Amino acid sequence: MFTLAEVASLNDIQPTYRILKPWWDVFMDYLAVVMLMVAIFAGTMQLTKDQVVCLPVLQSTVNSKAQPGTSGKADFTTVETTTGQGEDASMRTVSFRSTSTVTPSVPLSRAASSQDQPTESGQELKKEQKDSSGRKTNLDFQQYVFINQMCYHLALPWYSKYFPYLVLIHTIILIVSSNFWFKYPKTCSKIEHFVSILGKCFESPWTTKALSETACEDSEENKQRLTGAQSLPKYVSTSSDEGSPSASTPMITKSGFKFSADKPMIEVPSVTILDKKDGEQAKALFEKVRKFRAHVEDSDLIYKLYVGQTVIKTVKFIFILCYTANFVNTISFEHICNPKVEHLIGYTQFECTHNMAYMLKKLLISYISLICVYGFICLYTLFWLFRIPLKEYSFEKVREESSFSDIPDVKNDFAFLLHMVDQYDQLYSKRFGVFLSEVSENKLREISLNHEWTFEKLRQHVSRNAQDKQELHLFMLSGVPDAVFDLTDLDVLKLELIPEAKIPAKISQMTNLQELHLCHCPAKVEQTAFSFLRDHLRCLHVKFTDVAEIPAWVYLLKNLRELYLIGNLNSENNKMIGLESLRELRHLKILHVKSNLTKIPPNITDVAPHLTKLVIHNDGTKLVVLNSLKKMTNVAELELQNCELERIPHAIFSLSNLQELDLKSNSIRTIEEIISFQHLKRLTCLKLWHNKIVNIPSSITHIKNLESLYLSNNKLESLPAAVFSLQKLRCLDVSYNSIALIPVEIGLLQNLQHFHITGNKVDVLPKQLFKCVKLRTLSLGQNCITSIPDKVSQLLQLTHLELKGNCLDRLPATLGHCQLLRKSGLVVEDHLFDALPSEVKEVLNQDTSIPFANGI
């Protein structure tokens, strides 16, 4: 036999699950325990004390005649006496005669005496019956035991015998139905995860801090204190009508902590700082809540399972009540039994008493009462389940009472679980809502970030860039630390992969800040910060994946001088309309676009009147439409790199103010259009490097003002004499071609300062080359040169000489006459340098501080 504790264990759940048990479930659990006790008590009583006591029913008259003695039969006579006045109180005395058998209903001793005394007078029988205390039945103990057992099974109603077991089975079914949603595998994991997260959210120090700030904000005591302290400083910035962003100015809209300007806030020192461990745990909770919500909101299995088990319990209640009520009256103390064992006992009818009848009846009535209460609670549960939509949960009340107005409403199983928790304690869902708020999460990140990135730590990360400017690069942070804006001497600020970057009004302290980098960082700015950036920012770099990531306020920086856009601007995906209008950038001089354009965006023409430099770096996408270039008449520098251009675009010839053209890394094969450059009177630098150009047309002589010509990494095999007619040419780069000969006409370039012919097939250097006495850089590496003429000493301004990768066996000793040449500027094999005379090496090893002008 099992104990009550073992059965009650079916009703046990994890203690943490109790927050999901509303009062009706708890009440029904207690009712189930009481019903278990009733079942076990009734079963124990039935097993130990339940019995039936039966006596035969004696008929008032038996008209039977004595039969002659035959084998197997007995003769009997009945003597009837009447006593009393007017009363029919009859008494029967039965005598048996048998020749070979004894009637089973008569004891053997009695039968023997009947044989010895076959005849007795009625007076003797009457005297014997008067002496006994009751009527004789002629049954022994074994026969009574037999008939009691027979009548227990035949006379008693089945409900009286199986009542305890039925109660036990029904109760177990009810218990299983009540807690099945905690045990079912597909719901158990979700519930366990939810309870775990809910408990951590309830106990998190961050929850206490957030709710404490709200309580401090709304408390009447604080309001009274603030009423008498109007002179206290305001810790929260407010926006006036003058400083509020207009419809055309996309600024930060504070959806989180909403403070009125008429209610200054006092910070609570005791809850403003979390230690690092608590902060990390809170951030982990935000992530867990986010993932749990995404997982649970897609399903309503928990809700359906709870409704289903409630319906089952209700149907079970109705069923139990219907059939049990009919059996209340069947439980009685007295029963008539007809066992049909007359051939064994001698009697056909017995009257029996059931000693547990009254107890079972009381227990049954108690059980019915408990079931009725249980059923009414089930009906109430169904009413609650369908009274309101439990698959939707609104945090409207929490939003009104707290500062987190962005707490979203939830649905499906997530909503149902929160409804169940509210029946336990509404404070749980209120604390849980803190971790659904993005404002709360951002506030936590801000506190943790400021705690980690102090002013001293940021100062250690400040470095000087190539332009000798103080630069700070912040990478993959949760936000921008407040201490950044205390670095007032910072020149360049780089923010990379900071999705929640916010630029506050404190940036106005950074008076030296002129350059800002936003790499995958759609920063939001406050109104005051925007006003500062609009007036002071000169250079802005924006790197993005989609054009929508470009902050809208970028297009309103009227004093911006340089804008660098790096990202996807393909017209097929973004339709280019997302680039917005650049019309407000009235002082923009340099526009650098690195993207995958198929045409020049029409919006770029908005800055055409004042744009002086336009750079377009494609990723190999062919730039087809360039008509917009014709409107950029003031552009002085134009770069179209990696745009798969096959010819020089005709639109370029309309740029009358063009001074430098760079068509690097295209697919240009011929440059016959170069004759049209004669109209570009100001063109001084032409870069056609990294193309597929085979020859240089003679029409290049018409570009008379050309000072720099870059033709490296092409397929040139020779240099035409026309190139050397460009008397103003100061830089000529024909490296990495297939040129085998340097024409003697090179001596005509008296202004040539930089000549690069590295990576060709030159084997002889013409003496005329050394007539270019203004040469500062001479790159002759990776050729087939066998000797360097002594006339190299004529290049008195030479500072860089590259000879490595040739077939030289010695260097001329006259290198020592090149006054500005030093070992650092001489690129040659070590053994050739070591072979120089010691006095030459000594001269080349000397340091020099003689200044010289940059001639390019």
Calpha distance 640→620 (Å, rounded): 11
Give the chain's mean pLDDT: 78
8-state DSSP, 233: P
Lowest average pLDDT, out of 273-277, 431-435, 497-501, 699-703, goes to: 273-277
Identify whether 303 is part of a domain. no
Identify whether 485 is part of a domain. no
Lowest average pLDDT, out of 186-200, 709-723, 807-821, goes to: 186-200
Q: Residue 841, CB half-sphere, CA atoms under 13 Å: how many?
A: 9
Residue 728 has pLDDT above 50, yes or no: yes
What is the domain-level CATH number for residue 327?
1.20.1440.80
Q: What is the number of domains present in the chain?
A: 2
Single out the residue in 388, 415, 431 at which a domain terminates: 388
Identify whether 599 is part of a domain. no
**pLDDT band of 545, cuts 50, 70, 90:** confident
Query: Could you give the residue ranges of the DSSP H alpha helices within 682-797?
Result: none
8-state DSSP, 409: P
Let me know if 179 is exposed, middle or buried by CB neighbors in 10 A (0-12, 13-18, 19+). buried
Residue 61 has pLDDT above 80, yes or no: no
**Identity of the amino acid at 613:** K
8-state DSSP, 234: P
Chain centre to alpha carbon of residue 694: 57
Residue 221 has pLDDT above 70, yes or no: no
Query: Could you give the residue ranges of the DSSP H alpha helices within 465-607?
Result: 527-536, 571-574
For residue 187, which phi and psi values (nearest 5 degrees)?
A: -105, -25
Residue 850 has pLDDT above 70, yes or no: no
**pLDDT band of 529, cuts 50, 70, 90:** very high
Rank 167-181, 291-305, 436-450, 454-468 by mean pLDDT and report only the highest: 454-468
Calpha distance 770→797 (Å, rounded): 12
Lowest average pLDDT, out of 262-276, 326-340, 364-378, 606-620, goes to: 262-276
Calpha distance 815→802 (Å, rounded): 13
Q: Give percent of the chain above pLDDT 90.
A: 33
Let me know if 189 is exposed, middle or buried by CB neighbors in 10 A (0-12, 13-18, 19+). exposed
Predicted local distance difference test score (pLDDT) of residue 336: 87
Identify whether 384 is part of a domain. yes
Residue 143 has pLDDT above 50, yes or no: yes
Predicted local distance difference test score (pLDDT) of residue 85: 33
For residue 482, which phi and psi values (nearest 5 degrees)?
A: -65, -30
Identify whether 695 is part of a domain. no
Residue scoring higher pLDDT (838 or 437): 838
Predicted local distance difference test score (pLDDT) of residue 14: 57
How many other CB atoms are there within 10 angstroms of residue 682's CB atom?
12
Identify whether 624 is part of a domain. no
Tokens representing 723 are 């190139």
**pLDDT band of 211, cuts 50, 70, 90:** low
How many other CB atoms are there within 10 angstroms of residue 827's CB atom?
17
Let me know if 532 is exposed, middle or buried by CB neighbors in 10 A (0-12, 13-18, 19+). buried
Predicted local distance difference test score (pLDDT) of residue 103: 38
The DSSP result for 55-91, as a single string, is EEPPPS----PPPPP-TT-EEEEEEEEEESSS--EEE
Single out the residue in 388, 406, 436 at which a domain terminates: 388
Identify whether 780 is part of a domain. yes
**Identity of the amino acid at 333:** F
What is the domain-level CATH number for residue 805?
3.80.10.10
Calpha distance 346→334 (Å, rounded): 22
**Identity of the amino acid at 554:** V
Residue scoring higher pLDDT (589 or 342): 589
Residue scoring higher pLDDT (609 or 668): 668
Region 730-758: mean pLDDT is: 94
Q: How many helices, marked H, and strands, marked E, lie in the chain?
A: 22, 26
Range of the domain at 354: 4-57+155-184+308-388
**pLDDT band of 145, cuts 50, 70, 90:** confident
Residue 573 has pLDDT above 70, yes or no: no
Q: What is the pLDDT of residues 229-240, one digit of tens each?
A: 443 333 333 333
Single out the residue in 360, 388, 416 at which a domain terminates: 388
Identify whether 373 is part of a domain. yes
**pLDDT band of 601, cuts 50, 70, 90:** confident
Predicted local distance difference test score (pLDDT) of residue 135: 64
